[in-house]
Structure 1
Amino acid sequence: MSGTLWAVPGSLLVVLAFGDALATTVRVEGAGPLTRFVLSGAWRLLLRLHRDDTGSRSLSNAGPVLLLSTVVVWVLILWSG
């Protein structure tokens, strides 16, 4: 019985991760809802770090950091599901 109770939220997490990955990679107009949420938060964090250290080129690595954070979030959701 408890296995069934864990299967439902786990299945929902897997569907969420695959749906967001599909929406992000296929849609022309932008990212999926989960990816948009994660990337906007990461972008705000990177901008805040850049403002604190104005002499650096910290935003030059923002693209790879944001891409890697998207993949890590998808993998963590799939793993937890």
Structure 2
Amino acid sequence: GDYYDLYGGEKFATLSELVEYYTAENGILQDKDGTIIELKYPLNCSDPTTERWYHGHLSGPNAEKLLTARDE
């Protein structure tokens, strides 16, 4: 199944669970070179999947044009 993990460590069902775990457990989250990464507080960001379809840099109108051209 799908899960989130960092470098083969603990596995989490959701990204929120992963962030909560590493925020509470100071000193456990490390970069590949061993540098400790301290999570202090969440940063708000917009969801990249707010459109009905999401395919990288392909916009909704461009997706419609491609599908119409292929008669799908």
Judge same fold: TM > 0.5, yes or no.
no
Question: Which structure is higher in helix share?
Answer: 1
Question: What is the TM-score with the length of structure 2 in the denominator?
Answer: 0.24
- Which structure: larger Rg? 2
